[in-house]
Amino acid sequence: MTNEPAILTHALAKSYGSAEAVRRLDLSVGLNRITAFLGRNGAGKSTTIKMLLGLVRPSSGEGTVLGKRIADPEENREMRRRVAFVAEDKPLYGYMTVEQIIRFARSFYPDWRIDVERTLLRDYELPTHRKVANLSKGMRTKLALLLAFARRPELLILDEPSEGLDPVGIESLLQTLVSQSADGVTVFFSSHQIAEVERVADHVCVLDQGCLRLDAPLDSLRELYRRIDLVFAFPPPEREFQISGVESIRTNGRQMSLFVSGNAEAVTERAHNLNATSVEVTRVGLREIFLETVREN
């Protein structure tokens, strides 16, 4: 096995007329990891995923998925044999029954796992003779996940996989993602559910306005990011805190709140030197990191 990333893009861009959906994206998704792809609506996540799968052509730049060039139709087709994709709205053929669509999907993948298919059919309680059109959104999501998990992919690309699932379904999904990853499957998924991301992801990428704003392991984010709240006896000088690692500064009267991506010790030391009356350093969760990252832009 090579150490080449599962997904690698270089200056990948997509424009629709004058609107830039994705701008010079340099993305590297490591093998055997669960990577979360976060961003607001319209940030360019789905467009990026579509480019990776060859559904839309990049305006410029290049990329590979599992070592196959995404812009080459033949290589892209070969890559899709090894990749499972679940799209945002879980679109499936409404005129097929659950059994028919499973049989249909199975025919494309020689190493389809019948045992996984049966287990998930039972766990998800999918009615095999019901038409897909008559399934609830949650059922359709479960069926789409079954079709993805049973094909023994090397890479799972999931666009909002938990959308439409109830809490039990979400729990089951998260456990499956972790077990898939433990089996050596690389997982790349977009989500708005940050609490879920925080539970399972190893690595986080944040896309905003088509640009990659954050690309780091979750553990390192937890380790480095801090909220520092300061209180001074006088209006604090913001300029004194504009140092490396300080992502944002908000001042309200004698209070100052800093959001830092590192260098927290230097900030607190400076606050003490400026006679801050209160210095409070708190850990921040992924939700706050995400919000600060996209708010800055």
Partner 1 sequence: MLWYKAWLETRARFLTLLATVTAVCGFFVYHALGDLVPGWRLERDFDRLLFVNQQILVFLWIFGVVLLGMGGIVREKAIGTSSFTLALPASRARLVGIRVGVGIIEAIALGVVPWTAVFVVSSLAGMPILITQVGLYLLLLVGGGLVYFAVAVLVSSLVSGEYTAPSVAFGVTLLPTILSDAYLPLFLNNRRLVTGAFSVDTISFLLSGHLPWLGILASLSAAGLLLWASIIVVQRREF
Q: Site residues (CB under 8 A) for partner 1?
A: 50, 53-57, 73-74, 77-78, 80-81, 83, 85, 87, 89, 91-93, 95-96, 100, 103-105, 107-109, 144
Q: How far is the CB of 40 from partner 1 (least distance, A)?
A: 21
Cβ distance to partner 1 smaller for residue 108 or 118: 108
Q: How far is the CB of 51 from partner 1 (least distance, A)?
A: 10
User: How distant is the alpha carbon of residue 183 from its chain centre?
Assistant: 20
Residues counted in the chain: 297
Over the range 202-213, which residues count as b (16 or more CB within 10 Å of their CB) and which as e?
A: ebbbbbbbbbbb
Q: How far is the CB of 8 from partner 1 (least distance, A)?
A: 19
Cβ distance to partner 1 smaller for residue 40 or 106: 106
**What stretch of H or E contains 32?**
none
Q: How far is the CB of 95 from partner 1 (least distance, A)?
A: 6
Q: How far is the CB of 151 from partner 1 (least distance, A)?
A: 10
Residue with tokens 């059919």: 121
Tokens of 18: 């004058």
Cβ distance to partner 1 smaller for residue 26 or 89: 89
Spatial CA neighbour of 189 closest among 203, 179, 175: 203
Cβ distance to partner 1 smaller for residue 74 or 115: 74
Tokens of 24: 């010079």
Pure H helices in the chain: 45-52, 73-80, 98-106, 114-124, 137-149, 167-182, 194-200, 218-224, 264-273, 286-296
Q: How far is the CB of 76 from partner 1 (least distance, A)?
A: 9
Cβ distance to partner 1 smaller for residue 180 or 268: 180
Spatial CA neighbour of 38 closest among 48, 50, 52: 48
Cβ distance to partner 1 smaller for residue 108 or 250: 108
